[in-house]
């Protein structure tokens, strides 16, 4: 059976551990890139969720590796520090939805 692994910083990792998820913590983008490559090569990895800050800094070779494999699926995790205002929050959620389903959806308060 394949497993879900979260690759993130130690502060964020604690919450995922409490939820029972396998977590790999790193302290830098370089370390994240190395660990991500190890996780991609691990046959037990099914989904790898990577802290968005680290995901945005991976090299092109690793990105090509992600794009060329069907498993594991590599996704980025939103970072709460980026969501400063409500407008930023809405734009960010809109981008996540577009990436997930391929359509722009306008989020409005009811």
Strand order in the sheet with 73-77: 22-25, 3-8, 45-51, 73-77
Per-residue pLDDT, 1 = 82
CB 56 within 8 Å of CB 31: no
Chain centroid to Cα 4, Å, comes to: 11
**Is there a single domain that holds both residue 18 and residue 64?**
yes
With pLDDT > 70 as the criterion, what percentage of the chain qualifies?
71
Residue 102 clears pLDDT 80, i.e. is over it: no
89 in the same domain as 61: no
Same domain, 72 and 93: no
Q: Which range marks the domain in which residue 63 is found?
A: 3-77
Instruction: Please state the pTM of the whole predicted model.
Output: 0.71
Q: What is the pLDDT of residues 33-67, one digit of tens each?
A: 999 999 999 999 999 999 888 988 889 999 998 88
């Amino acid at each position: 059976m394949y497993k879900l692994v979260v690759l993130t910083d130690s502060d964020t990792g604690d919450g995922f551990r409490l939820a029972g998820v396998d977590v790999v913590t790193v302290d830098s983008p370089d370390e994240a890139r190395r660990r991500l490559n190890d996780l991609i090569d691990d046959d037990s990895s099914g989904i790898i969720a990577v802290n968005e800050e680290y995901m945005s800094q991976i090299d092109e070779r690793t990105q090509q590796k992600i794009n060329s494999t069907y498993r594991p699926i590599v996704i980025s995790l939103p970072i709460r520090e980026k969501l400063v205002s409500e407008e930023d929050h809405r734009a960010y959620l809109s981008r996540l939805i577009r990436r997930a389903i391929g359509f722009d959806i306008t989020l409005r308060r009811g």
